[in-house]
Amino acid sequence: MQGRTCFRIFTFVALLVFLSALAASSGSVAAGGDGSEPLNVASVPVLNYHMVGDLNQALCISAANFEEQMKYLADNGYTTITPDQLLDHLKRGVPLPEKPVMITFDDGYVDNYRVAYPILRKYGHKAVFFLIAGYIDNDPRFMNWQQVKEMSNNGMIMQSHTVHHANLTKLSPEDALKELTESREIIEQEVGKPVRYLAYPTGATDKATVLLVRKAGYRGAFSVRFGEAGPDSNFYAIERIPLFRSSRTFRSFFLRLNAAPVLERFGLIR
């Protein structure tokens, strides 16, 4: 099934890549950290998931579809990377492995542990889990700290999605800063590892929020804006590629993974 799907859309992807080449400029070169020397910076797909399981809703990918996607990454030479690797590359041009990809999950649902985690381990992938710290151990729909620690001890990366999943742009500066700092402290205390990255709840952010994120000590933050992380990315609003359940889930995954810059450039997806 996977092979037939890839064959059917190969021509379409090839056309998109050709159009992208015609429209492309020197976007793969970014200014050096001191502005004096350009950096050779690649674009990296950052995949964004929420749930993996049987719920019939857009944010919940089936276990079979998720495994098909993870197998595709493994079979086609992709290497999963960490947020630190991504930021080191974007900021300083530190080399990445061939065909880098980042896998992220928002919220911290319990199916991330029960369903997604075993599949990730099966194919040797690491992933980043942005946790709503106040929901962990306090809501049966979400993981508990024992599960989070087990995953962290086996190569998964636990980062912040605030304490209560509040829209930071709607809070007072004091309350927003509290959401940002307390979530870091809670997760760091539980897993014993640094929390340096944030995913914005609902994707909402603005200039004032970014200043608070920096003040709270985060090194970078991830948005829900469609696209790949690359030389033009804002380190505090890094683009991601959301994955949804649909009647043609693998086709959507294949196109978004392989042609995200083209889809974005020509306004075919947002």
101: in domain: yes
200: in domain: yes
49: left (phi over 0), alpha (psi -120 to 50) or beta: beta
- Can you give the pLDDT at residue 40? 87
84: in domain: yes
CATH of the domain at 174: 3.20.20.370
- Judged against a pLDDT cut of 60, whether residue 270 lies above it is answered with no
Pairing of strands 46-49, 79-80: unpaired
Span 5-15, pLDDT tens digits: 455 555 555 54
Please check whether residue 233 is in contact with residue 239, taking contact to mean a CB–CB distance below 8 angstroms: yes
Query: How would DSSP label each residue in 21-35?
Result: HHH--STTEE--TTS
- Can you give the pLDDT at residue 21? 45
Give me the chain's average pLDDT, please: 88
- Can you give the pLDDT at residue 22? 41
Please check whether residue 237 is in contact with residue 198, taking contact to mean a CB–CB distance below 8 angstroms: no
Cα angle, residue 231 at apex, residues 215 and 18 outer, rounded to 5°: 150
Span 40-93, pLDDT tens digits: 899 999 999 999 999 999 999 999 999 999 999 999 999 999 999 999 999 999
Q: How far apart are CA 245 and CA 2, in angstroms?
A: 16
How many residues in the chain? 270
4: in domain: no
For the chain, the domain total comes to 1
Q: In terms of residue numbers, what domain contains 67?
A: 44-245
Q: How far is CA 145 from CA 14, 131, 133, 178, 190, in A?
A: 45, 11, 10, 21, 7
31: in domain: no
Span 111-136, pLDDT tens digits: 999 999 999 999 999 999 999 999 99
φ, ψ of residue 13 to 5 degrees: the values are -65, -40
265: in domain: no
φ, ψ of residue 178 to 5 degrees: the values are -65, -45
134: in domain: yes
Please check whether residue 224 is in contact with residue 200, taking contact to mean a CB–CB distance below 8 angstroms: yes
